[in-house]
A and B are shown apart, each in its own frame.
Chain A
Amino acid sequence: MIELRSVEKRYGSVMALRGLDLTVPEGSVFGLIGPNGAGKTTAMLILSSLLARDGGSVQVAGADPQRDPKTVRRHLGYMPDFFGFYESLNAYEYLEFFAAVQGVPPARRRGVVLDLLALVDLSHKADADVNTLSRGMKQRLSLARALIHDPQLLVLDEPASGLDPRARVQLRELIAELHRMGKTILISSHILSELEGICTHMGVIDEGVVKAQGDMEAIRGAFTGSRRVRVRLADGDVDRALDLLGAHPEVAEASVERQRLDFVLAGDDDTSAGLLSELVGAGLTVYEWRVEAAGLEELFLQLTQEEEAE
């Protein structure tokens, strides 16, 4: 659905994108994570046909946003990281206006607008002045606006930014529902927990390049060598366990807190099982041995740490 190859963008002397490669498969919920200033918004502006690139190639729904923006816009719903509302229009009129500018036929507009208001749970606010809506409601109305022409692809730039926990949950449910409807969704955030659990794919962007991307399993799999292991042991066994584990090069960043031992394991499931056997074989009482899959946050930290180390 989206292909960016070696995309470059320069703002004066600052390189915002340095040969960015990104592939968003059709039907995926693709989380684009990265710190502020990483280039997420620039990439989204380019693929949404708002900003011209300086180099590379971009294909969105089979069209180049720079050469054929009209086709791209027909297939794409864009939700920027800010609200854009007209004063004195109510929620219904706001959506009706965007239905008109997106070319929804007049006879269908009312139905489309009412359906979308229902989808984003704002039917009861149809007559409310947009300015009176809460931040969460505005965000859902923005999402409805992006959906007004029934695009295949949604580009959501920091959609959960500034929302309270309840509004975030509602937004996540909405995105999950859109995914079930078959939409391809590209969603950016610098808050990693926002994306965990709703994304099928992920890309990590930093300093204008994508550091890693793929489906969630593949991403996690690529980092199984650095899973965190939490071990609970009997009193007095912790120091011995630390000595035993410390002799293995696969074990790093070990820390002790009471009967708990945490460390990062650079190895697969067999390595983990081998270490556990060794502790048990040495007569240690192991109450708990928990291998945690790397979360987005850890993956992200690993990626950026690798970069810093380089």
Chain B
Amino acid sequence: MSFSLNPVLAREVRERFRGRRAPLFVTLWVLGVGLIGYLVYVIAQYAAQDAFGLGQAVAGGYMGRFIYEGMLFLLMTGVVMIVPGLTSLSIIGERERQTFHLLQVTQLSALQIVLGKLWSSMSYFLLLLVAVAPVVAVPLLFGGVRITDLLAGLGMVLLTAVMLGSVGIWASSRARSSRGAVAAAYTWSFVLAFITLAAMAGELLLVHDGTGFPAQGREIVSVLPNPYVGMVSAAVHPLGTDGVSGTPFDIVEVLLLQRQGYDAFGFGVDLGPDAARALPLRRPPVWMFTVGIYLVIVVGALWGATRRVTAPASRIRPLRRANGT
């Protein structure tokens, strides 16, 4: 059975887009992203005026990068907030609808069931992404951002979506109630997105040498699985680094520079995209670690979910009823 014809995917897509909820959510999502995109544009305008004054040729590139970084941050936050909700009900939903056994006794393998669930969630997320593509592409009009930068950033957003989707399906396969599945999926999502940032703060304090920000060139392990840091690393200068430029990602870029052993950076030094490789890399960029970690998580989560869906099982796990009995 070919991947594209997975019947679970076909049915889920049909169900998902039937009714009013999906179009309503897509509409709200586009409006929300559009509104926030406009706010980012306004902020970028003020920031450009502060940095360069009106009429500066370089301000266009600055604004493009500012909006690009703002939009990527928004999309990544969307992934962290939306994807666990899309996938966490996938398997437990089948059990609660009492269709789980019916699927298990068909010719579909457990892996096909799990992948069908993952792709249906991802297809919905892709729709959300495509719906806001015009807004996300706005920075290209201003300049300062190469198409490869945009693709690298979106690639990290997509990989994070697949990773969190896989974790959501794994949580769903283990849960005994939909509430538990949602809680577990969001817990993992928030741990990766936010708790790692808190851990990073703790780690920075530990490696602080009393003279500078963190001790130069030290590895900050807790940031490696963080989706935001991984995205900045991939989206700003995937194979190089330069000074910070006064755009939203600066706070992470400072960390990335420190990790590479550079502390002599200045704000607004160089805005041209081709100046990205001004400083040579001294250690592999963070995004490489992030991608590796995420691929391991994806494989592990899908393997775990497949095991849970495989029949015959040694026992039929009872559901936890809504009243707690």
**Residues of chain A whose beta carbon lies under 8 Å from any beta carbon of chain B:** 11, 45-46, 48-52, 65-66, 69-70, 73-74, 76, 78, 80, 82-89, 93, 97-98, 100-103, 145, 149
B11 in contact with A65 (CB, 8 Å):
no
Q: How far is the CA of A193 from the CA of B106 in the complex (A)?
A: 31
B316 at the interface (CB under 8 A from A): yes
Contact of A78 among B7, B8, B98, B101 (CB under 8 A): B101
B1 at the interface (CB under 8 A from A): yes
Which B residue sits closest to A83, measured CB to CB? Answer: B98
Separation in Å of the B143 CB from the closest CB of chain A? 46
B19 in contact with A76 (CB, 8 Å):
no
Q: How far is the CA of A46 from the CA of B8 in the complex (A)?
A: 25
Residues of chain A within 8 A of B14, CB atoms compared? 89, 93
Q: How far is the CA of A89 from the CA of B99 in the complex (A)?
A: 13
B19 in contact with A97 (CB, 8 Å):
no
Q: How far is the CA of A78 from the CA of B102 in the complex (A)?
A: 8
Q: How far is the CA of A51 from the CA of B314 in the complex (A)?
A: 6
A101 in contact with B101 (CB, 8 Å):
no
Residues of chain B within 8 A of A89, CB atoms compared? 11, 14-15
Residues of chain B within 8 A of A82, CB atoms compared? 98
Contact of A101 among B19, B107, B312 (CB under 8 A): B107
Residues of chain A within 8 A of B15, CB atoms compared? 86-89
Given A93-B14, A103-B107, residue A84 in contact with residue B311 (CB < 8 A)? no
B283 at the interface (CB under 8 A from A): no
Residues of chain B within 8 A of A49, CB atoms compared? 105, 311-312
Classify chain B's interface size.
20 to 34
Q: Which of B97, B103, B312 has the most CB of A within 10 A?
A: B312
Scan residues 14-51 of chain B and give those whose CB is less than 8 A from a CB of chain A.
14-15, 18-19
A50-B105, A50-B316, A102-B106 provided; 5 other pairs, C-beta below 8 A?
Answer: A50-B313, A65-B312, A69-B312, A76-B105, A98-B102
Separation in Å of the A129 CB from the closest CB of chain B? 11
B98 in contact with A84 (CB, 8 Å):
yes
Separation in Å of the A56 CB from the closest CB of chain B? 14
B221 at the interface (CB under 8 A from A): no
B107 in contact with A69 (CB, 8 Å):
no
B195 at the interface (CB under 8 A from A): no
Separation in Å of the B293 CB from the closest CB of chain A? 34
Residues of chain B within 8 A of A97, CB atoms compared? 7, 10-11
B108 at the interface (CB under 8 A from A): yes
Given A80-B102, A84-B99, A86-B97, residue A73 in contact with residue B312 (CB < 8 A)? no
Contact of B313 among A51, A83, A84, A101 (CB under 8 A): A51
Which B residue sits closest to A94, measured CB to CB? Answer: B11
Residues of chain B within 8 A of A76, CB atoms compared? 105
Residues of chain A within 8 A of B100, CB atoms compared? 84
Q: How far is the CA of A89 from the CA of B97 in the complex (A)?
A: 13
**Residues of chain B whose beta carbon lies under 8 Å from any beta carbon of chain A:** 1, 7-8, 10-11, 14-15, 18-19, 97-108, 311-316
Instruction: Sample 8 A-B pairs with CB under 8 A, ordered by A number.
Output: A51-B311, A65-B312, A84-B101, A87-B15, A89-B11, A101-B7, A102-B107, A103-B1
B312 in contact with A52 (CB, 8 Å):
yes
Residues of chain A within 8 A of B314, CB atoms compared? 51-52
B102 in contact with A145 (CB, 8 Å):
yes
A70 in contact with B107 (CB, 8 Å):
yes
A101 in contact with B103 (CB, 8 Å):
yes
Q: How far is the CA of A50 from the CA of B286 in the complex (A)?
A: 44
Given A78-B101, A93-B14, residue A101 in contact with residue B316 (CB < 8 A)? no
Q: How far is the CA of A6 from the CA of B10 in the complex (A)?
A: 42
Contact of B7 among A52, A73, A80, A100 (CB under 8 A): A100
Separation in Å of the A130 CB from the closest CB of chain B? 11
Residues of chain B within 8 A of A70, CB atoms compared? 107
A84 in contact with B97 (CB, 8 Å):
yes
Separation in Å of the B291 CB from the closest CB of chain A? 33
Which A residue sits closest to B100, measured CB to CB? Answer: A84
Q: Which of A46, A86, A87, A88 has the most CB of B within 10 A?
A: A86
Which A residue sits closest to B17, measured CB to CB? Answer: A88
Separation in Å of the B13 CB from the closest CB of chain A? 12
Given A85-B97, A87-B15, residue A78 in contact with residue B312 (CB < 8 A)? no
Q: How far is the CA of A11 from the CA of B19 in the complex (A)?
A: 42
B103 in contact with A80 (CB, 8 Å):
no
B106 in contact with A101 (CB, 8 Å):
yes
Q: How far is the CA of A41 from the CA of B315 in the complex (A)?
A: 13
- 3 A-B pairs with the lowest CB-CB distances in the bound complex, closest first: A100-B7, A84-B99, A84-B98
Contact of A50 among B1, B11, B101, B108 (CB under 8 A): B101
Q: How far is the CA of A102 from the CA of B107 in the complex (A)?
A: 5
Which B residue sits closest to A53, measured CB to CB? Answer: B312
Separation in Å of the A217 CB from the closest CB of chain B? 33
Which A residue sits closest to B103, measured CB to CB? Answer: A101
A51 in contact with B315 (CB, 8 Å):
yes
Q: How far is the CA of A93 from the CA of B10 in the complex (A)?
A: 11
B105 in contact with A48 (CB, 8 Å):
yes
Contact of B19 among A74, A80, A88 (CB under 8 A): A88
